[in-house]
A and B are shown apart, each in its own frame.
Chain A
Amino acid sequence: MGEIFAKVSEKDITRAIVGGFIREFEKFVESDVIIVGGGPAGLMAGRELATKGKRTLIVERNNYLGGGFWIGGFLMNKITVRHPGEEVLKELGIPFEQAREGLFVADGPHACARLIASACDAGVKILNMTVFEDVVLRENNRVGGAVVNWTPVEALPRQITCVDPIALEATMVVDATGHDASVVRKMEERGVLKTKGFGGMWVERSEDLVVEYTGEVHPGLVVCGMATATTFGLPRMGPTFGAMLLSGRRAAEEVLKKL
């Protein structure tokens, strides 16, 4: 019985990894858009932008993409969206059921996998295990890119790993880092803008506000998803994802206006 797999040596595998990565990475050192955060809002924004032919890079600090989209509330892997979020599910080919009027439920793993695949199919480049460190600022403090480093390097004490980060340029940057609002907070550290903090109040309709406030918060910087809630001090919302998907879409529309 013959061998199943083609014969390749270790060096060929290494060359394929390094060469493939570097060729693509070089292209994305200068992008139209850098999206920081690969959760549902970031993936959705990336998908929409790449579909329009924009060079889009998603920077994700974890090994995995999708953020909290894999799992709904209480570690149960059913995700819910409220109308009109199900229209996005339909568009992405994610099977769902109606739980009650205006509320739809889908399998988290299926939904998340479809969203990631859809973003990749559209042409989004993903840089995972990469952490956002700082913003690139241009004249009048306009945001012009992101400073990034490998997540493991960033996680180690400075005394052990004094490894400088690198800078990536982009016409627009999108903060899709969830509750952390890492990009906006970095701008706050620099005294360029001020976040309002995360509201502790729970109101039924706060999902609407997240979509409404998605937009350019500073020249060159668009905020979306739960980062919007932190930036504007919006009330908390339940474990539903419609606002993340629609906020991602709205962020893409706002970015397209600026490109």
Chain B
Amino acid sequence: MMLFPCLWPRRWLFSQKGHLRPSQEVIREAVSIFTSWTGEEMREGECLYRATPGAAEDLAGLRVINLDSPALNENPFPIEIAFERRRREDCQCGKGAVYAGIHLAALLSKGLSARRVLWGDKPLFITRDYIATFDRDDLRWHLRYGVFSFPVLISLPGIIEAPARPREYYLLRSQGIPDAMMPDSLRDRYLTVNDPRLPRVLAGILLQAFFYYQSGDPFCPDPFCSLYHAHWQEELLRSQRDEPYIVCLRHRQALEKEERWLRG
């Protein structure tokens, strides 16, 4: 697989036990888990935002501004384009903007074409930005942890915020209880920015990307398989752990057929 991380070595996102922890470290740990399962070789490319010609103007127009409208940010202000340009030049991703995932993948595929990256290279873009897709059933945008397309997009903050937290969390939140004051028993049921479970969860999402490129289907209906398409944090945490198994029998057999096996 070809990994295009949206990273900057001096930028720090995750923290743990009082020490700042770079998102790069989370990705490295996740890649190490993933390769221990599949033996897949991972190559690293540059940031796709930088590699894509004219990305600043286009990115400004791909921002989701109204949750309930499919329309994107038409006629962006000069400040918005300047912000995208700054982000591209100084690698300032992850400021909180939400981008239309499918459109973003289409835009970044231009950067892949310019670098002659093909489907067989299994390009994977990991971003610190939020990505969303418009759901035609309820006619609103939803944050996503990943968009499975060419390239596959994975949003680091999306892993934490896109799958819904337990209902009790929103009940307490609506009563004005801040995140820091949530009871520990509840906090264990969803991911936070300093969560030690993140690398394992990301490794499972890398596995989903891998299966997407192999078979066109990244997901599995088995709620204990790492390929389960989780919509709730509890579902995500239940599927992204090594017990009772990493992947279900069907997907294990698929890996074994290709002479790959799970060593984790």
Contact = CB atoms under 8 A, between A and B. Distances in A.
B66 A209 contact: no
B79 A207 contact: no
B96 A205 contact: yes
Contact of A208 (B80, B86, B96, B98): B96
A203 B98 contact: yes
B81 to A, nearest CB: 11
Contacts of B177: 74
A139 B26 CA distance: 54
A67 interface: no
- Most A CB within 10 A of own CB, among B65, B132, B161: B65
Tell me the interface secondary structure of chain B in the complex. Answer: loop
Interface residues of A, number: 36
Interface stretch (A7-15, A111-119, A173-181, A230-238): A230-238
- Most B CB within 10 A of own CB, among A76, A99, A203: A203
A160 interface: no
Interface in A96-110: 99-103
A212 B83 contact: yes
Contacts of A193: 77
Contacts of A231: 77
A199 interface: yes
B143 A209 contact: no
A174 to B, nearest CB: 14
Nearest to A197: B66
Contact of A101 (B15, B65, B73): B15
B79 A209 contact: no
The interface size bin for chain B is: 35 or more
B83 A205 contact: no
B101 interface: no
A22 B246 CA distance: 77
Interface in B112-141: 130, 132, 141
Interface of A: 73-76, 80, 99-103, 193-194, 196-197, 199-201, 203-209, 212-213, 215-217, 231-235, 238-239
20 contacts: A73-B178, A74-B175, A76-B176, A99-B180, A101-B18, A102-B15, A193-B77, A196-B73, A197-B65, A199-B67, A200-B68, A204-B161, A205-B95, A205-B157, A209-B96, A212-B95, A216-B79, A233-B65, A233-B73, A234-B97
Given A200-B66, A232-B79, 20 more contacts: A74-B177, A101-B194, A194-B75, A196-B66, A196-B73, A199-B66, A199-B67, A201-B64, A201-B98, A203-B96, A204-B96, A205-B157, A208-B94, A212-B83, A212-B95, A215-B79, A217-B77, A233-B63, A233-B73, A235-B98
